[in-house]
Amino acid sequence: MEKLHSLYYVLEMAGTFAFAISGATAARKRNLDLFGICAIAFIVACGGGIIRDLCIGATPPAGLTNWPYLVVALIATGLTVGLFSLVELLHRPVLVFDAIGLSLFAVTGAEKALHYGHNGEVAILLGVTTAVGGGVLRDVLLTRVPVIMEKEIYASAALIGAIIVVLGNYLKWVSGDLAAIIALLVCFSLRILALHYHWNLPTPVDKKASPDKKDGLDKG
């Protein structure tokens, strides 16, 4: 039990690091300044958890009170700014860390919501939010449609992970810790397989309409 939480902590820092790298890289490519890169790195790493904590009433959010998240985000920023060629070399391990972060945040997000006494629906929705919320905020701040809504099995892997946690908690077939480990492994495997085989969710194609034509919106 104690060991499991130490393991969680190591995995959480690896995930935080990968999320921060993805934020810093995207921000750097958009030519943000140093503050902007730090801010986006931190928001990707902690944004999902902050939204979850606001929704379950856990104020102040853990992402704001625990300095290791901030330090990891700053290290990721430093690497991305100072040693960008290294970060590009680390592209593949970072994708694996990112899958670790996705799985772990989905599982711990759902567990935290249950722990606060909320129902299964809240736990599932906030598990997914914890896992993907930071990335969505990154894309909104960089004014692009959230990439998780367009392609690849990403949020859906988190969804399945969160559902397994909640089912494990309700059905009690296995202990909560075992359910969490199964959820972690399923979510992680699904994500890695999706990356490897380029699995995508179906996109309902709309041949007639070009984007937004019908709304007559003039995008600024």
Residues that bind a copy of itself (CB under 8 A): 26-37, 39-40, 50, 54-57, 59-61, 64-67, 70, 81, 84, 113, 118-119, 121-122, 125-126, 136, 140-151, 155-156, 159, 200-206, 209, 211-215, 217-220
Q: Which is nearer to a copy of itself, 79 or 180 (CB)?
A: 79
Residue pair 148/132 in contact (Cβ under 8 Å)? The answer is yes
Q: Which is nearer to a copy of itself, 2 or 190 (CB)?
A: 190
In the complex, least distance from residue 2 CB atom to a copy of itself, rounded to whole angstroms: 25
Q: Which is nearer to a copy of itself, 81 or 90 (CB)?
A: 81
In the complex, least distance from residue 105 CB atom to a copy of itself, rounded to whole angstroms: 16
Q: Which is nearer to a copy of itself, 4 or 213 (CB)?
A: 213
CA distance 218 to 70: 39
In the complex, least distance from residue 146 CB atom to a copy of itself, rounded to whole angstroms: 6
Residue type, 133: G
CA distance 50 to 213: 36
Q: Which is nearer to a copy of itself, 28 or 191 (CB)?
A: 28
CA distance 185 to 16: 18
SS3 breakdown of the chain: % helix, strand, coil, rounded to 5? 75, 0, 25
CA distance 178 to 10: 18
- Residue 209 is given by DSSP the state P
Residue pair 177/211 in contact (Cβ under 8 Å)? The answer is no
Alpha helix stretches (DSSP H) within 57-119: 62-65, 67-82, 84-89, 91-115
In the complex, least distance from residue 220 CB atom to a copy of itself, rounded to whole angstroms: 4
In the complex, least distance from residue 175 CB atom to a copy of itself, rounded to whole angstroms: 25
In the complex, least distance from residue 173 CB atom to a copy of itself, rounded to whole angstroms: 23
In the complex, least distance from residue 143 CB atom to a copy of itself, rounded to whole angstroms: 5
Q: Which is nearer to a copy of itself, 8 or 84 (CB)?
A: 84
| Kind and range of the H or E run holding 210 | none
Q: Which is nearer to a copy of itself, 174 or 211 (CB)?
A: 211
Residue pair 157/103 in contact (Cβ under 8 Å)? The answer is yes
Give the up-direction half-sphere exposure of residue 9: CA atoms within 13 A in the CB hemisphere: 8
